[in-house]
Structure 1
Amino acid sequence: MRVSCDKEGIEKAAKIINEGGVVVFPTDTVYGIGCDPYNIESVKKIYEIKSRDFSKPLPVLVYSKEIAERIAIFDEVTKKIVERFWPGQLTVIVTIKDLELKKSLNLLNKIALRVPNHKCTLDLLKKCNFLVGTSANVSGDKPFTNPNDCLKNLNNYDIFVDGGVISSKSESTIIEIVNDEIKIIRKGSLSYEELTKI
């Protein structure tokens, strides 16, 4: 099912997520694929659709920093950085404290979190708070910014939320704070220089 990024489309997508379905949706970087991160079967389905190695943990999108703090522990440096760059193209790796989520996502003690800067994604997150948010492509392939390319190359999801073509430089930058220092895990649209200007 393909829906528009409007009130009706968001309602349908949120209902499908709550029922254990898998959704493809636009973000501020690329098209993403997600589900309820607490639903083990839905999480497995995402790994299968992407042909992703089960040892690679999935990132989670959240509606706000306050909601993120319900499931994870933020050190002071990370707090300052996310206050500056969220919503935005920054994923942070922090300590998870939600044991149910730790189990459903098969995590050790860390989780990757992001608040995206995209109205459509935020409208969806407003209804479900948390959403697995990984790029909607087969692992190893390039992520998609054009909805038609994404539709042609991806299968077995339940609903596609069409937000048009995304104009973005690249995927989000992934960081972790180690001994109060920024460690870049994946280079993305935010540079080290930008991140240190806080």
Structure 2
Amino acid sequence: MKLLKDYDVFIVTTDTVLGIGGKVNDKVKNKIYKLKKRDLSKKLIIVVSSIEQLKKIENINKIHLEYINKYWPGNVTLIINDNAYRMPNNKELLKFIENEGPFYLSSANISNESIIKDINEAKKIFPNLKYFDFGKGSGTPSIIIDTKTGMRLR
């Protein structure tokens, strides 16, 4: 059973930091940017539950697969064909993504402000959103690697 509607934006715990996310569509994307006061030039990460799910939305080649097999699931976001993707290392969250489909995810904070440490803090900043708790993360944002250049961007 699907828990999310196409326009829902929510807060979720991950293996790294709390995330704010929603289904991959323009309405949700715009809402996330507005809530976070995020610069439109900064991309949102799309989280996936499996390579098969990723292949439904992105063209994957041999080099991409080498990075995927080396770093996923885990705390590494990969830039593939100018889009950012991650497969979290949290079994419950992966089941959620499998059920709900890939979704946008960004750190659950106002842009350029401190990372939010827990759900209670997030509820003060984003009181009207849905919340999903899949356990405590590391508190450290994901590493970002560009698969075209091999460069670590963060």
Q: TM-score, normalised by structure 2?
A: 0.89
Counterpart selection for 1:150 from 122, 128, 149: 122
Q: How many residues align?
A: 154
Alpha-carbon contact 1:30-1:145 (below 8 Å) kept: yes
Q: Alignment partner of 2:79: what SS? A: strand
Which ranges of structure 1 fall in alignment gaps of 5 or more residues? 1-10, 96-109, 187-198
Report the CA distance shift for 1:169/1:74 in structure 2 as closer, same or farther (over 3 A).
Answer: same
Q: Percent identity?
A: 30
Which ranges of structure 2 fall in alignment gaps of 5 or more residues? none
Q: Which runs of 4+ in 1 moved over 4 A?
A: none
The one-letter amino acid paired with 2:101 is N
Q: Distance in 1 between matches of 2:126 and 2:113?
A: 11
Alpha-carbon contact 1:29-1:170 (below 8 Å) kept: yes
Aligned match of 1:176: 146
The one-letter amino acid paired with 1:161 is F
Alpha-carbon contact 1:33-1:133 (below 8 Å) kept: yes
Alpha-carbon contact 1:145-1:165 (below 8 Å) kept: no
The one-letter amino acid paired with 1:182 is G
Q: Distance in 2 between matches of 1:169 and 1:150?
A: 14
Aligned match of 2:17: 30
Aligned match of 1:71: 57
Aligned match of 2:107: 135
Quick check: which has more Rg, 1 or 2? 1
Q: Give the deviation of 1:156 after TM superposition.
A: 4.1
Q: Give the deviation of 1:120 after TM superposition.
A: 2.9
The one-letter amino acid paired with 1:36 is K
Alpha-carbon contact 1:138-1:154 (below 8 Å) kept: no
Q: Give the deviation of 1:149 after TM superposition.
A: 1.8
1:1-198 equivalences in 2 (<5 Å): 14-15=2-3, 17-38=4-25, 40-95=26-81, 110-157=82-129, 159-166=130-137, 168=138, 170-178=140-148, 181-186=149-154
Alpha-carbon contact 1:30-1:143 (below 8 Å) kept: yes
The one-letter amino acid paired with 2:62 is E
Report the CA distance shift for 1:182/1:19 in structure 2 as closer, same or farther (over 3 A).
Answer: closer
Bigger shift: residues 22-31 or 137-146:
137-146
Q: Give the deviation of 1:61 after TM superposition.
A: 0.3
Q: Alignment partner of 1:18: what SS? A: coil
Superimposed CA distance per residue, residues 2-29 of structure 1 (whole angstroms, 9 cap, x where no aligned partner): xxxxxxxxx6xx42x3341111111100
Considering fraction of residues, name the structure with more helix.
Answer: 1
Q: TM-score, normalised by structure 1?
A: 0.71
Q: Give the deviation of 1:62 after TM superposition.
A: 0.6
**Over aligned residue pairs, what C-alpha RMSD do you find?**
1.8
Q: Alignment partner of 1:113: what SS? A: strand
Q: Which has the higher contact order (CA 8 A, sep 6+)?
A: 2
Q: Alignment partner of 1:87: what SS? A: coil
